[in-house]
Structure 1
């Protein structure tokens, strides 16, 4: 009897121990299953490839305003008030011709005008008395008009003996000297506005058609050789529609915009480069590419249309979310994404069919030796 009790007691202990072991094993299995849910995934960080769309064009700085100055009449220069490199203001007197002969022309024109006016008044009085004909009156009136015009011309000729600065600027060069005789329209000097500069460069025919349609706020970077660190940009001003006969390229002009301090002095004729973003110039949209394995294809149950998506990894939560994308062309092992991605997105590139919305994952890292 005692032996039977002892056997029963040993059996009970064995069963209890087995149950405890089973329970522990079950608990450990549950923990193991939980840990397996946080699975590793391969990730691709979307990066911009803008650098391949930047094209550099050689350029040259030009004055926004520049012109050769000359007298409109000929004569001897009696006063030359400027030298090369001198700054001048709009309206400053720059050069003067000897006015003696022009003043004599005014005196002669005044005498002729007075005579013509006296004759006209006499004919007019006679016409009122029917003592002359209308043809004589008309002839006298025409003579007076000619005399008035001659007087005005003589006065204008005297004004043309002085040359004034047409705008604020710098005298770039002086090509004459005092007491030199010059002819009408003969170049005296060259004036430039260097406070507002422009940038001239050439583009091939494939790009010139897109220049004018570029967004007005697009300002490509301008790098001047003598001031490579200055923040310089250019905004569109104009372009020619006929090509250069030698290069077959088209001239384009930008207004130079200067930001920050003006440590370096920039002058017309300095060489530069323009870094043109062809994406913006041509109005192209930035596209990205991902491995083909990263894209899920599925049917929209509402529309019945085929749709595409990728899994995006959230760095803060370590969870994945589905994002719809628009596909472009296939490029080898990759496919172009036209819409749906932005720079620095992290896309899952492998095992995408086993993931679910908001599933927790961890980035896969290559172990040493593998």
Structure 2
């Protein structure tokens, strides 16, 4: 019997057509699959750069100082009593001789009156005993006692008057009231400070000078100081007024007071900050100065810096350049002249040890999310 041909179902025909279509598409594209997207470019490392300056014959250091008074005095009464007058205010400028504070004078006036009466009585007794002694009626011992009593009465009157004078505090110099330390009408004991007064007749700026710079300058005679007071007031010449002759703790620095001349428009209040520049002539030198952070130590114990060679606006490559260190002063290095490093070149100022010769970098222009 002839074989019975089974009809092909619609599902099987559809699958066959799909296979043929895929094969035709593959052949039409030459058998190639879509290429993958290229990987993003590697982010360039940012570097901080500085321009090598020409050689200079001076060393400069900056210090942060504060305005201080020539002297600050805590004023106190040499006697005790109730404070009756405190006419000055904090921050007030006073002149020499101005009244600063005064105790209640009534008890002191009574003490002076009592001392005057005692002196009058002692004087009468002395005069009477003296007449009797001249008539050989009073003994010499009694005359001596009368003389001693008179001397004690005079001394008592002097002490009473001095105590009354000590009950008043007057300004001994032109100054600035820093702070009232007690309230008016309070009772104060002898020696209790009641007022703090700044002597602003010669305001000063105090800085701490390291012992190393102090030694390099030959004490302070070789240093020149200028101040930047802010608000455009810069280059103010300063003069050394005094300095402590011993160092402060572990910092090995000397406290130096620099006399500040009068500056128009500037009020030298104690505590105001100022930037002081110290200049020390270092003699003739043609060494190039770079920061110590720019130096790279290689495996063979040589030293080099990384020169930046620009390629675009903010990108470039770095090149290792051997240098010879001839001096060191603080955070700066002196580089031997006559080598490949020249003034005007740009070098990596910090982090150069993380770079390799020929590496592509970009100029650091500020922080961004990719840094």
1:49 has 2:19 as partner: no
TM (normalized to structure 2)?
0.58
Q: Give runs of aligned pairs for residues 1-370 of structure 1, distance below 5 A.
A: 49-50=56-57, 53-194=59-200, 196-208=202-214, 210=217, 214=221, 219-224=224-229, 226-227=230-231, 229-258=233-262, 262-279=264-281, 286-289=283-286
Give 1:178 deviation, angstroms: 2.1
When residues 157 and 333 of structure 1 are mapped into structure 2, their CA distance, relative to the original with a 3 A threshold, is closer
2:348 aligns with none
Report Cα offsets for 1:285-313 as digits up to 9, x if no partner. Answer: x21449xxxxxxxxxxxxxxxxxxxxxxx
When residues 131 and 207 of structure 1 are mapped into structure 2, their CA distance, relative to the original with a 3 A threshold, is farther
| Contact 2:225–2:277 under 8 Å retained in 1 | yes
| Contact 1:95–1:164 under 8 Å retained in 2 | yes
The CA distance in 2 between the partners of 1:146 and 1:247, in whole Å, is: 58
TM (normalized to structure 1)?
0.58
Give the gaps of 5 or more residues in structure 1.
1-46, 291-328, 335-370
Give 1:181 deviation, angstroms: 1.1
Give 1:192 deviation, angstroms: 1.9
The CA distance in 1 between the partners of 2:213 and 2:337, in whole Å, is: 31
Give 1:117 deviation, angstroms: 1.5
- Which structure dedicates a bigger proportion of its chain to helix? 1
The CA distance in 1 between the partners of 2:138 and 2:55, in whole Å, is: 95
Report Cα offsets for 1:120-171 as digits up to 9, x if no partner. Answer: 2222222222333333323322221111111011011111121111222221
**Which stretch of structure 1 is more off in the superposition, 152-161 or 76-85?**
76-85
Q: Secondary structure at the match of 1:257?
A: coil
| Contact 2:55–2:286 under 8 Å retained in 1 | no
Q: How many residues align?
A: 239
The CA distance in 2 between the partners of 1:267 and 1:122, in whole Å, is: 65
When residues 202 and 115 of structure 1 are mapped into structure 2, their CA distance, relative to the original with a 3 A threshold, is same
| Contact 1:102–1:158 under 8 Å retained in 2 | yes
When residues 211 and 95 of structure 1 are mapped into structure 2, their CA distance, relative to the original with a 3 A threshold, is farther
The CA distance in 2 between the partners of 1:159 and 1:175, in whole Å, is: 21
Q: Secondary structure at the match of 1:278?
A: strand
When residues 65 and 248 of structure 1 are mapped into structure 2, their CA distance, relative to the original with a 3 A threshold, is same
When residues 207 and 288 of structure 1 are mapped into structure 2, their CA distance, relative to the original with a 3 A threshold, is closer
The CA distance in 1 between the partners of 2:221 and 2:206, in whole Å, is: 17
